[in-house]
Structures are given as C-alpha cells and as structure tokens.
Structure 1
C-alpha cells in the first residue's frame, strides 16, 4: 500500500491531468517529467481498478470512473490543504479555541477591553468565555477545563499555576443617594460604623471580603452585615433599596443606578488586585498570545483615562 503522501501526490497528478487533458502540459505544471506522471496515473488506476483516462492518438479524455473520482479528489486535496493551514495557524496561536474564565466583577473593569483587543489581534481564534468565581476558576485550571483565568485576588503560591497582576483597584463607599453622607465628596470609613452593610458572602470572594472587613476594623468597628448578595450589581440594587451601605471595588461605579451614590473613602490605601492565572507548564500558543495581549493592554493603559481615579495599573 502506498504511503499517504504518495496517495496525495497521485490525486494531485490526477486532478492536474484532468484539467489539462495533456500529459506534457500537466507534467510541466507539476514540475516533473512525463514518465513519472504516467506512472503515478497508472498506480492510481490500479487502486481504482479501472482506467481514469481514455487515451487515444491525439486526444485524452476522462472516463466515467475519472469523472466520478475528480470531485472527490479535489475535496480531499482541499481538506488536506485547509487542515495544514489550520494546523500552522494553531501552532502560531492565531487559530483554534481558547477557554477563558472570568469573575463577574471584571466585566466592569478589564474584561471588555481585553477581549476586544484579543479579538482584533486574533480574529481567527474562537473564545469560550465562562463566568466563574475565584475558587472554581482555580479548580478549572487544574482540571484543564479552562486555559486562562481572569480573577479578582488571584491566589499566590498555587502549585502548578502562574499568576500575574493586571491592575489594582481602590475601594469606594456605596450609599443610597438620599443618605446624608452622600453629600460628601470623601466619606470616612469610621462614619459607616452604625450602618447596616450589604456585602458579598465570604465564600464568593474570600480576600476581597476580608479586605473590606479589615478596613472597618482598622477604623475601630465590626461591620454589621444586614444583607448578602453574590454580585456587585445586586449589592448596588440593595443599597438603592435602602437596605444598607457597602464598601466595594471602585469599578462598581460603572453600575449606574439613579438612587445610588459612589464616594471615595478615607483612608484610601486598601486595594483589590485583578490578575490572570494559567497553568505554568501549558505549551498552548493560544495562551501565550492571550497573555501578550493582556500585557500590552495593561502597559497601554495610561493615567489620564476615565478610570484613572479608580485603578492603579501595575507595572
């Protein structure tokens, strides 16, 4: 049995001869002499079991078997060519599918800009986007069901995973618009001591939850949590309904509710980190290209943009 590459050569020779219907011209197109061309056609005819060309003095024509084989031969050659091209593009990270996990709050910060930049650079790559909190993203990275995680407070020292920060956000006070403290431009954290709080449960984001609790404790009080919500949008909605106040990453200000006021806080030293994580031994070029895009987007974010007061880009 011929090797696969020889079978492809025979199909290629057959299609060229079928188009030219002249051994001399076909051999010239193929860059070979006429005898090797004739040999390739004979071997293919032996496989088929019937002549593919009607050879008569002064003319050559396809037989019924040749007419039947021609479209199949063209499809086979096209599929191989397409597969080779797809393999080359996948090998360079310009085609294929990348699976990205993201924390819901990142839809308010880096996610839209980053995905847009990646889509612009690599339009041939399919992106599978999955909304997940931090712990499930870490598990999915270990389980190889996602390729990159975009997380708030990515874990340090997680075996087998690499972590890189993208930005750090300050915190803001989230108040009902009619609240007396909403009249201030800057709200002291200590002024919230007697207020009921609306917060994410600790299980939804351990580190950011603990940062908020520590902010309050540093000002001498333990926050009284009246309501829990698993999304920052719900936190804002419950604050608007008058069920309490909150401290939240500054990107929450993109959730524009008429009955909510977002104010800077004092002290404003606490930050929540947004970063990306991936398997440290992953050779997938799609991951490498995504990381490059994220780094370029990070380095291109200046201090004069609309979010300059709500985030510090990490170098």
Structure 2
C-alpha cells in the first residue's frame, strides 16, 4: 500500500526527506521517484513559501533559515497525518472504536464472560459499553441506535429491522424453596407445580420467554398463579427462597448462589425437551465493522437473520 501523501502533503514529505538527506539523489531514492520530480516538488513548495528552503551548490545542499523554520512544522504535520491515517485504518477494520452491548442479566452467568474475554483479547483498543437490560428494552434500544449488540432470550421472528442468531439453547428447571417437599425429588413434573404460587418475570420484559413458560404450564393442564413479578432472575430466585412461591427458569440460573433455593430438572417427557434460546441481535443495516468482528468471534457472520 502506498502511504505517500498526495499534494500538498507530498511536497512537505519531499521537503522533510531532503532536509534529512541533504542530497537530491539519496532523497529521490528514499521517496521512490526520480530527481527531476523531486526538484519540481521542492520548487513548488518554495514558490508557496515565497523564499528558498535550500541552498544548492555543487556537491552541497543545505537548509536556509526559512527551511530550518519550516522543518519542525512539516515533521509535525506529517506525523499528525500518519497518526490519523493509522487511526482511520484501525476504525475501518473494526480494531478501534466503541461497541455498546446490551445483555440480559442471566447471561452474565453463561455466554457473556467468555465472549468479552475473547473480544478484548483480539480487539483491546475497542471501547466496550456494557449495559444490563432485559430483552424487550434491548430490542427498543437496538432500533433506536442506543446499543449495537443485544444478547437476549427468545428473540422474536420476522423482524424487518433486526437480525438474530442463536448462540445457546438450554432447558428449563423448576425453582423451589429448599424446604419444600419438591426439593427432595431429583426431578419435578411440571403438573406438580399446578397448585403452587408462582414468581415470574412480567410478560412485558420478555414476552416470548414468558409465553414459553406459560405454554409449558398450559401443556401440563394449568395456568400459573403468579403472586409476584420480578424483572431479573436473581430476584425471582431470591423471592422463591423466601417461600413466596415457585418458578420455572432457564437452567443457567442454577449458577446463582442463593441460600434457601433448590433447582430441579424437569421430569423426562415433552416438557423436558423444551429449550429456551439465547440469541445475539443486531441491526440489519448496521455497517459498523466492530459489530462484524464480535459476530465473527461468536462464530457467526452477519450475512443473514431470522
């Protein structure tokens, strides 16, 4: 790639090289041009300055007082341009810039830590802005351009503005108080929860996930009696631990270390095969190369969406 600046920077570049070499032949070799074009560039620059920049005598080239005054400024300008070009290339390749990521809190227990470690290892100059958000607000923030990437559960389908890719699937578990008789079982049948109060995320923070949980209950012949809502799974589990009710949650919540709570697998059957999806989301028209780099780390390109 040719890094030589175009006019008028080419004239400053030629001037700075000649000032270092003080020899037209050697300067021309360094610049990769013949001597006549070099002489022409120096003359054009001298015409702009209005004074000679070099004295030219047989076998000797030297800076004039005007040339000595111009040299520090020329070097500073060339260094500034070189720095700007390097920064532009870093940004253009996605190796610099900013990436705003929204994530559902429970994903701090699964995909998020490893993803961030790998991304920072490969792209240390990118500034990361990490925001904890439930799924529905992530979708709104993506459409509004407030975040660049979302990590959420149960993405919608047929979205005209956003793309989604599944990065993880996991089963559901029953969340029960540690002192409840169901905690003594190895697995739980969903119908055993039918008469118990439920603690759940409100539907508005994640409609597809809420609907998936209520569909599991409907398949078992009941509608969950929700006595308390909480917007984060950690809070749901904490409230279950107080004896307020039970819940159905993604299996990764078992990594939440809370006293008074027991997590039990779903008894084998159709319900046990139901899994919740974790997806990465981004704007369909987003051309930010930093976004493409994160998607590549996830092992999935941005070429299509659900």
Shared fold, TM over 0.5: yes
Aligned pairs for 1:53-72 (under 5 A) are 53-55=54-56, 59-72=60-73
1:184 aligns with 2:188: no
Aligned to 2:276: 272
Superposed displacement of residue 47, structure 1: 2.1
Q: Name the SS for the 1:5 alignment partner.
A: coil
Alpha-carbon separation, structure 2, partners of 1:176 and 1:8? 73
1:164 aligns with 2:168: no
Q: Name the SS for the 2:87 alignment partner.
A: helix
Alpha-carbon separation, structure 2, partners of 1:72 and 1:232? 60
Aligned to 2:289: 285
User: Would you say how many aligned residue pairs link Structure 1 and Structure 2?
Assistant: 294
Alpha-carbon separation, structure 2, partners of 1:11 and 1:22? 16
**Offset from partner CA, 1:250-296 (integer Å, 9 cap, x none):** 11111111322111122423221111222333333333332222126
Aligned to 2:256: 255
Do the aligned residues in 1 keep the contact of 2:90 with 2:96 (CA within 8 Å)? yes
Instruction: Output the TM-score relative to the length of structure 1.
Output: 0.83
Alpha-carbon separation, structure 2, partners of 1:23 and 1:201? 77
**Offset from partner CA, 1:13-48 (integer Å, 9 cap, x none):** 111112122223222222333332222122222223
Q: Name the SS for the 1:268 alignment partner.
A: helix
Alpha-carbon separation, structure 2, partners of 1:166 and 1:49? 65
Q: Name the SS for the 1:275 alignment partner.
A: strand
Instruction: Output the TM-score relative to the length of structure 2.
Output: 0.85
Aligned to 2:304: none
1:143 aligns with 2:173: no
Superposed displacement of residue 225, structure 1: 1.9
Aligned pairs for 1:208-223 (under 5 A) are 208-223=209-224
Aligned to 2:22: 21
Point out the more displaced range, 119-128 or 103-112: 119-128
Aligned to 2:45: 44
1:129 aligns with 2:126: no
Pair 75,254 (structure 1): closer, same or farther in 2 beyond 3 Å? farther
Do the aligned residues in 1 keep the contact of 2:134 with 2:231 (CA within 8 Å)? no
Superposed displacement of residue 218, structure 1: 2.4
Alpha-carbon separation, structure 1, partners of 2:255 and 2:72? 57
Q: Name the SS for the 2:29 alignment partner.
A: helix
**Offset from partner CA, 1:127-167 (integer Å, 9 cap, x none):** 33333322332233333333332221111001132222222
Unaligned runs of 5+ in 2: 302-306
Do the aligned residues in 1 keep the contact of 2:96 with 2:123 (CA within 8 Å)? yes
**Offset from partner CA, 1:220-253 (integer Å, 9 cap, x none):** 3332222211111111222222322221111111
Alpha-carbon separation, structure 1, partners of 2:32 and 2:118? 44
Q: Name the SS for the 1:18 alignment partner.
A: helix
1:33 aligns with 2:37: no
Q: Name the SS for the 2:276 alignment partner.
A: strand
Alpha-carbon separation, structure 1, partners of 2:31 and 2:266? 75
Superposed displacement of residue 66, structure 1: 2.9
RMSD, matched Cα:
2.5
